Structure 1
Amino acid sequence: MQQPAIATFYDHIADIAKQEGCSVPEALREAGKLGVMALEVSCFNTAGQADKLAGELSEAGMGVTAMPSFFSFESDTDVESQAEKIFADAKTIGARKLLVIPGFIPEGADREACTRQIIDCTKRLGELADRAGFALTMEDFDNERSPISDSSGMLRFMDAVPGLTACFDTGNFYFAGEDALDAFERLRGCIGHVHLKDRSLTEDFGTEPRKTVDGSPMHPSPVGAGVIPMGELLEKFMDGGYNGPYTIEHYGAEPMLECLKRSVEWLRARLEEAGI
């Protein structure tokens, strides 16, 4: 069986370039040597430089697994206007899947009414994306103002938006105080994309902690070295028939290159053990 694509984020490549004192093309080559075959490139990365990024990716032989795309549906219901630029940049870099971050609940707003508005806009986005040839996926976003910060929120969107799949981020359920294995069972039938993210309780790979919803600190970690049951989750993905890319994620990690190296090594070893 062919090994699925191993990917990471363009932001991580930029961090490697900054931390290691090299250029982005050099950082791309280093990632390629480790076994990274593709990237997730966000709408913030492409803003004003989609053509330049497309050239960098082409020269490095890197594909694009998805384009994280931020919308402001909580305050702006002009879906067409917001989608137009993102669709254009996605086509330029060769992204056929959009990871939708649909908006955030403003402080003091009616959460239920705002969530309904965001869902309605996301449904319209889905119609536009289908016509334009894009698939949509949505992750458990680690922000308490997000309407999709846990599996219940995600399922509400999956039920309302035809064709929308779940991007299962292994580390973000920890942020919400939800067990990742339980979340997998709830989302089992609609997973279409995967982020491999571990969490650490120590500062080995990052000094500034994020906070969970209950205020507990969490740090970046190489995949397989933290507190998330990564091995069990990977087995569930494979047993469930998932054969898409695995995007390694550890925002805030330092040194990023070493963290990426260890993550790729862990993932490739687990895939080889499974005969993939």
Structure 2
Amino acid sequence: MNERKFESRAEVVIVSSAFGAEAIRRDGHAYWAAAASRAGANGFEVRRELFADESDAAAGALRELGEQIRALGLWAVFSTPATLFAADGALDRDALTQAIDEGAALGARIVKLQLGGTPDGTATDAATLDRALTAISTSRAQVVVENGQLRAGGTIDAFAALFDALPLDSDALTMTFDTGNWLWAGENPLDAAQRLARHVRYVHCKAVQGEGARRFAVAPAADDANFAALLALLPRDVPRGIEFPFDPAALEADAAARVAWLATA
């Protein structure tokens, strides 16, 4: 008898900005979460910077949004542009606490901040990391830091130094690996994946076109060997977020096609 082989599927999150920043600000996250659900996504990423008004970040508003997302059969990621480390490299505990509190109100599974720090990295002394881990211990969500598009908070060495300094048995602070942002920061994504894969708990997926400051995010091509190599290096059992723009002429059809593709890529 031939054994049937079942294809493993990754969980796919649609990042709200994939539908267009102006559309999210105009219609609200809940409207587009419904589109993400129809597209077959598992999760939906709420972007704090896309709130139309600061009142959208109030605890009551976040709870209502979280309930709407769950009613659609989705789980939530809460993303904030705030940085875990300030521009001088010191821990920004207030930003961390705020992100955790807002993520809790939303009922998020993952809370994502930018790493921040200086172009040379972040504070990694034991006292600083103990304060960070103490704050993170209050979070029911997985707290992750993402590689950004600037050298400050976007270098492989900064992430490696931080994770090397954390206790070996700690999985409290991990990372979102953005496949495209490394290029803005002048880093090689494949090198980043080889060094940091064991710390990755969420992947932001996109390809990049253009050069220098004129780079922009695009959907990876079906024959993009570099993107395929990146996915092969990164853990398969973590969610994959679509952070490239959908075709504006066929938003929902394109969203459904991209979710189906990324789940098995």
Q: Same fold (TM over 0.5)?
A: yes
TM range (shorter): 0.7 to 0.9
Are the equivalent residues in 1 in contact too, given 2:21–2:50 (CA < 8 A)? Answer: no
Give TM-score scaled by structure 1 length.
Answer: 0.71
Q: Which amino acid aligns with 1:245?
A: P
The equivalent position to 2:132 in structure 1, one of 107, 125, 141, is: 125
Aligned equivalent of 1:150, options 144, 147, 155: 155
Distance 1:92 1:59 in 2: 13
- TM-score calculated relative to the size of structure 2: 0.73
Q: Deviations 1:187-232 (Å, cap 9, x if unpaired)?
A: 132222111111123xxxxxxxxx63xx5x3222123369672222
Distance 1:48 1:16, change over 3 A: closer
Match of 2:147 in 1: 140
Q: Closer, same or farther in 2 for the Cα pair 1:37/1:87, shift >3 Å? A: same
More off after superposition, 89-98 vs 71-80: 71-80
CA distance in structure 2 between the partners assigned to 1:101 and 1:190 by the alignment = 15
Q: CA deviation at 1:133?
A: 3.5
Which residue does 2:76 correspond to in 1? 64
Q: 1:39 aligns to what? A: 44
Q: Is 1:189 aligned with 2:198?
A: yes
Match of 1:10 in 2: 16
List per-residue Cα deviations over 1:81-113 (Å, max 9, x = no partner). 3333322211110124322324343xxxxx55x
Three-state SS of the structure 2 residue aligned to 1:193 is strand
TM-superposition CA deviations, 1:38-61 (whole Å, max 9, x none): 122244457532432442343342
Q: Distance in 1 between matches of 2:263 and 2:202?
A: 17
The percentage of aligned residue pairs carrying the same residue is 17
In structure 2, the residue matched to 1:200 is 209
Deviations 1:138-158 (A, max 9, x none): 2221113x1x31222211111
Contact 2:201 2:239 in 1 (8 A): no
Distance 1:118 1:41 in 2: 32
Which residues of structure 1 form unaligned runs of 5+?
106-110, 202-210
- Unaligned runs of at least 5 residues, structure 2: 1-6
Change in Cα spacing, 1:104 to 1:33, as seen in structure 2 (3 Å) is: same
